[in-house]
Amino acid sequence: MMGLPVPPGVMVRTDDGRPAFVCLRFGRKGEKPPPAIAQHVVEDDEFMAAGIVAFDCWIGNEDRHDRNLAYSREPKLDLAVFDHSHALMGCEAGGAVQRLTDSLDKTYVSSGCLAPLMTKGGAFPEWAKRVQSIDPGVIKNTCRAVSRVGAATHDEAKAAEEFLLHRRTRILGYLQKDASALPKVMEWGLA
């Protein structure tokens, strides 16, 4: 929806009937590329790096590090962004609704590995626009579908829906509010 290189994934049922999300194996011949060197990601494609920062800001991801980014400069292996399992609902069992409610306007910029390395902010408005352009109906449907298959409770899905819809139009504001997390960005390119 946003245009980030996220490998495709699907909802499945495990052997014991529990719902799960699996990401398809990616990389050449199904072999996962090495973790990204964050500096290389920013230097080689700062536009895409800005997209990842904006995406993590939207979904409340505090866990973006070199091992959930894959990229190689030489030889060139394409960037992949995966494993956002600590975003939205967090990783504390039963703590999802509390997290989503309490951190509705938390910036979620400073905790990733890319933000401190970014030097240009000109791409952020474009990514903020892309997040904003995602149809609210799609977000609602997705959250409800997750609840229907039993991957989240009704309350959790509702809180996630509100979280995403609330933040959807505020990405640029969060980035500016937490500008200290982007210490090398001097030019924001904002109107």
Partner 1 sequence: MSTEWLVAKYMPDLKRREPRNVGVMLRVGHRTLSRFAGERAGGGIDGRFLRGRVADVDTYRAWVNFWRHAVEDAGSLREVMQPTGDENYAVEYGGERLLGSDAREAEDMLDYLYATLVEELPEKEALSVAQLSENVLGRLDIADKVERGYRLNIPHERFTDRVRFDYRYVNRRPHLMQQVSLTLSDERSWDVAHAAAWSFEKAHGAEVDTSLIALVKQRQADDDLERQLLLLEEQAAVVDVGETERATENLRELLQLGTGQAI
Which SS3 state, helix, strand or coil, does residue 70 take?
Answer: strand
- Tell me if 116 contacts partner 1 by CB under 8 A: no
* Helix 46-59 vs helix 154-168: crossing angle, to nearest 10: 130
Closest CA to 85 of 98, 105, 67: 67
Comparing CB distances to partner 1, the nearer of 49 and 109 is 49
Q: Which of 5, 26, 32, 44 binds partner 1 (CB under 8 A)?
A: 32
| Alpha helices in 14-135, H assignment, sequence order | 38-44, 46-59, 96-102, 124-132
Query: Where does this chain touch partner 1 (CB under 8 A) — which range of 33-41, 105-113, 131-139, 182-190?
Result: 33-41
Nearer to partner 1, 74 or 135 (CB): 74
Binding partner 1 by CB under 8 A: which of 16, 31, 135, 187? 31
Instruction: Compute the C-alpha angle 10/16/22, nearest 5°.
Output: 20
Q: Pick between residue 34 and residue 173 the one whose CB is nearest to partner 1.
A: 34
Tell the residue number behind the tokens 């200290």, with chain if given.
Answer: 180
Pick from 61, 95, 81, 66: which is nearest to 174 by CA? 61
The verdict on 5 binding partner 1 (CB under 8 A) reads no
Among 74, 93, 137, 191, the residue binding partner 1 under the rule CB under 8 A is 74
| Only segment of 2-10, 72-80, 116-124, 127-135 that touches partner 1 (CB under 8 A) | 72-80
Smaller CB separation from partner 1, 32 or 158: 32
Q: Number of residues in contact with partner 1, rule: CB under 8 A?
A: 15
122 near partner 1 (CB under 8 A): no
CA angle 150, 83, 184 (to 5 degrees): 135
